[in-house]
Structure 1
Amino acid sequence: MKLLVDLPSQTMTLRDAEGAVVRRYRVSTALNGPGEYKDSGCTPRGRHRIRARIGGGLPIRSVFVGRRPTGEIWSEALSTAQPARDWILSRILWLSGLEPGCNRLGEVDSMQRYIYIHGTPDSEPMGEPRSHGCIRMRNRDVLELFELVDTATQVDIQ
């Protein structure tokens, strides 16, 4: 399996070993556009792999902070009470860059920047850049994807 994130179209495509399309998803990447530097709020480009899969077995819309479940389940009421919170929901696929100097090591390290593929409130639009650098997905989509990939899955962000 291999994932391709296309920044201009705000889509992510899952392909099998032969290159056939398995799934295609609408996503939301960084509002600040593409970029690799720490604290840029940008989505890093290049070759990555899934470093860790976090949240298996938890309920849909489970809330994470620091890659740990808080015990909360996202709701409109919770969102209204905390409007400035950057919601990381349902599952986390933590990315690690594979290209030293581009997205790995030093000031451009995607893993140290905590770049994830993760769920977001379903009220958030897909298909337009809105994140703080991560790749946001609909909750049902990230649950499905989580079951289809493993920690060896390559993720190309272009």
Structure 2
Amino acid sequence: MFVVVPSPFISYIMQCYDEYLRKCLEKAAEVMGISTWGIPPDGAGSYNDEHVDTDFFCYCGDYNGLVVTKAKLAFGDTLISVKLSGIYWWYETNGHAAEMTAGYYNPVNRDGYAPIASLLKKHEAALNLTCVDMSTVEEQKDFPEAKVDDPEGLVCQVV
């Protein structure tokens, strides 16, 4: 059996101070019956704090595995499957602007998906990448202006 962790729990660490996302998180936590999950993490600092000056985001801080750990507690022995959006547009550029904008630090000189895969493996969670069924040739045929889109390249990197 696979369980997909609701998206507010996956993204709350980075965006929990946005008024609307915070309300969404609180509502999802109430629906799950665990209202404490609707509260931002301790030690995350404030908007202008440097990450190294916080307990939560510093090197080896609490961010490292918190969401998956909480999901494992909630779902027990059920296999956790984390859905990762395949941001493949502009993949064939050095800066990987679409991925960077989405929060994936995956420039041409760094494997941004390896830490994600490592974390999921550590917690015996599965990775569900959304673009595995796409073809680079078909994508570029349907959208000729998108010569740098490469869903297959992204899938090969993640695998």
Q: Which of the five TM-score ranges fits, normalised by the shorter chain?
A: under 0.3
Q: TM-score, normalised by structure 1?
A: 0.23
Structure with higher strand content: 1
Larger Rg: 2
**Structure with higher RCO (Cα < 8 A, 6+ apart):** 1
